Amino acid sequence: MPRSYLDPPRPIVALATPPGASALALIRCSGPGSLELLAGLFSRPAALRGARTSSLVHGFLVDPGLEGGGARVDEVLVAVYRGPAGPTGEDAFDLSCHGSSAVVRRALSLLERYGFAPALPGEFSFRAFSNGKLDLPRAEAVAELVSARSEAARAAALDRLAGGLSRRLSGARASLLGLLAQIELRLDYGEDEVEEALDPSLVLGLRDELAALASSFKAGRLVSEGLRLVLAGAPNVGQSSLLNLLLREERSIVSPEAGTTRDWIEAEIEVAGQRLRLIDTAGLRETAARIEALGVERSQALVAEAELVVFLADGTAPLPEPGQIPRKDAILVWNKVDLLPGQDAPPGWIPVSAVDGRGLPDLVSALEKAIAGRLEEAGGPGGPREILITSERQKALLEQGLAQLDGVLDSLQAGEGLDVLALGLREAAASLGELTGEITTPEILEAIFSGFCVGK
Ligand SMILES: Nc1nc2c(ncn2[C@@H]2O[C@H](COP(=O)(O)OP(=O)(O)OP(=O)(O)O)[C@@H](O)[C@H]2O)c(=O)[nH]1
Ligand SMILES: [Mg+2]
């Protein structure tokens, strides 16, 4: 039978670093009895048994089934954690060994042979959650921090891991439960007088708090997934050359022949700490060639969907008509200025040379401004101190809580009984409890943690 997160905890093991050759590899283990199991496989068992939590012990990992020098698997450094103080709340250790696949394979097979089960994805975080070390938003932040691909995504995830979101959610839930307690007290005394039972401004304040968090979802997603930036323009204006310049590598094919780029090409850069997904497209033109026409159709769709568009024109050719510019908010680039010495760019166009890099700083600052604008429109400046939510689960539960509080406000206005108000408040508190993980079901937990990577 495959193991489940909900089985009684047993010692587990996983490689926390990527497989392959590296200077060091980190093997994590956790579970009741795990330190004692390791003592049987370690050159200095007494040192390990006497080690305090969060201390390091140096020694050799030893295969007790073998004799002499061949028994040594590797020279290792063990970080010891004793439950409940450690990161998972149980006895646990991190073992640093040399990073070759030969060492890692031997070490893992030894640990598995002597009682450690291979960890499920996210099982270490699951145990930290189960043992009260992390609530759900913080456990989710661990997964986001592991997959953060830009400075802004890292900062936002770290802020959630530090408890920024959790504090706001617990604060809102505590206020809700406080209001509920007052109403229930009145109900216990047989009162059903709605007058002054519940101050609507308190409910409104909580409602606004949930609305503010829910509305940060779009910005949170943009920060974690990156903003799409489409390079568009007529064929041969230098879209692929500009992509290569921004990437500082020859990724997209450049040629003097118009219609070189057919399918779109995507690559990533970071601007102002934000991840930008650069997309080079087939030049926009009417064409009878079927494959190129399909490419142009795709370009148009990409231009429509992208958060940012850079529209290029060839400075040596007539300027495009305003009607040819596919989006009003496009950043306009007047390319090939190296061929136009002494000529000023038309108003509103940034002069650039995709060949020698002239004008690149101006383009980058225009991009920075546009990124800030898009994030603001999406509901958040995206600064590191701003809480941004990124998970669909969190968004859905916040919106559910929001709707329940709207229901309470409606009931208040309609003069409904205290029992109706109490019910609405209780439901909203339950939504927040599900968000933080204070109220949850095994199925939900399994779904959340199985999306993590192994070793986390
Ligand atoms: N002198 C000069 N030539 C450039 C510049 N940018 C692009 N070119 C040249 O213009 C030609 C077309 O460049 P590409 O980058 O392939 O243009 P594109 O817009 O991707 O073209 P398609 O993929 O065909 O739509 C190539 O010969 C480039 O070397 C520039 O800033 N200055
Ligand atoms: Mg091209």
Query: In which element (H, E) is residue 118 found?
Result: strand 117-118
Task: Check whether residue 71 and residue 114 sit in a common domain.
Answer: yes
CATH number for the domain that contains residue 329: 3.40.50.300
- Distance between CA atoms of residues 100 and 24, nearest Å: 8
Q: Structure tokens of 206?
A: 């909580």
pLDDT over threshold 70, residue 386? no
Name the nearest CA neighbour of 28 among 102, 100, 104: 104
The reply to whether ligand 1 has any atom less than 6 angstroms from the CB of 244 is no
| Mean pLDDT, residues 334-360 taken together | 96
The reply to whether ligand 1 has any atom less than 6 angstroms from the CB of 348 is no
Task: Check whether residue 107 and residue 184 sit in a common domain.
Answer: no
Main-chain dihedrals φ then ψ at residue 24, nearest 5 degrees? -130, 155
Ligand positioned closest to the Cα atom of 313: 1
Angle of helix 164-188 versus helix 151-161 axis, rounded to 10: 40
At 152, the amino acid letter reads: A
| Mean pLDDT, residues 52-74 taken together | 92
Atom from ligand 1 closest to the CA of residue 280: 20
Which residue bears the tokens 């204070």?
Answer: 438
pLDDT over threshold 90, residue 239? yes
Query: Is 316 part of a structural domain of the chain?
Result: yes
Query: Is 23 part of a structural domain of the chain?
Result: yes
Each residue of 71-95: pLDDT tens digit?
999 999 999 999 899 999 999 999 9
What integer pLDDT is reported at residue 382 of this predicted model?
46
Ligand 2 centroid vs 254 CA: distance in angstroms? Answer: 6
Task: Check whether residue 124 and residue 154 sit in a common domain.
Answer: no
pLDDT over threshold 80, residue 387? no
Task: Check whether residue 43 and residue 182 sit in a common domain.
Answer: no
Q: Structure tokens of 66?
A: 């073998």
CB burial readout 434-455, b (16+ within 10 A) else e: bbbbeeeeeeebbebbeebeeb
Atom from ligand 1 closest to the CA of residue 235: 25
- Distance between CA atoms of residues 192 and 215, nearest Å: 36
Q: Where are the beta strands (DSSP E) in 124-188?
A: none
Residues 6+ apart with CB under 8 A from 422: 180, 183, 184, 187
The reply to whether ligand 1 has any atom less than 6 angstroms from the CB of 353 is yes
Query: Is 422 part of a structural domain of the chain?
Result: yes
CATH number for the domain that contains residue 49: 3.30.1360.120
What integer pLDDT is reported at residue 200 of this predicted model?
86
If pLDDT is split at 50, 70 and 90, which confidence band does 390 have? confident
Ligand 1 centroid vs 321 CA: distance in angstroms? Answer: 20
pTM: 0.81
- How many angstroms separate the Cα of 393 from the Cα of each of 203, 342, 401? 23, 56, 12
If pLDDT is split at 50, 70 and 90, which confidence band does 403 have? very high
Mean pLDDT lowest among 100-104, 163-167, 331-335? 163-167
The mean of the pLDDT values for the chain is 90
- Distance between CA atoms of residues 244 and 252, nearest Å: 6
Residues 6+ apart with CB under 8 A from 18: none
Main-chain dihedrals φ then ψ at residue 267, nearest 5 degrees? -150, 160
CATH number for the domain that contains residue 159: 1.20.120.430
If pLDDT is split at 50, 70 and 90, which confidence band does 64 have? very high
Atom from ligand 1 closest to the CA of residue 312: 19
Task: Check whether residue 343 and residue 429 sit in a common domain.
Answer: no
Share of the chain above pLDDT 90, in %: 64
Residues 6+ apart with CB under 8 A from 212: none
Each residue of 158-178: pLDDT tens digit?
988 988 889 999 999 999 999
By alpha-carbon position, which residue is closest to atom 7 of ligand 1? 238
The reply to whether ligand 1 has any atom less than 6 angstroms from the CB of 240 is yes
Structural domain count, the chain: 3
Which residue bears the tokens 């409910």?
Answer: 203
Ligand 1 centroid vs 359 CA: distance in angstroms? Answer: 16
Domain of 118 in residue numbering reads as 12-134
Task: Check whether residue 283 and residue 369 sit in a common domain.
Answer: yes
Name the nearest CA neighbour of 75 among 47, 44, 54: 44
Residues 6+ apart with CB under 8 A from 267: 243, 247, 251, 252, 277, 278, 280
The reply to whether ligand 1 has any atom less than 6 angstroms from the CB of 317 is no
Task: Check whether residue 123 and residue 261 sit in a common domain.
Answer: no
Task: Check whether residue 128 and residue 158 sit in a common domain.
Answer: no
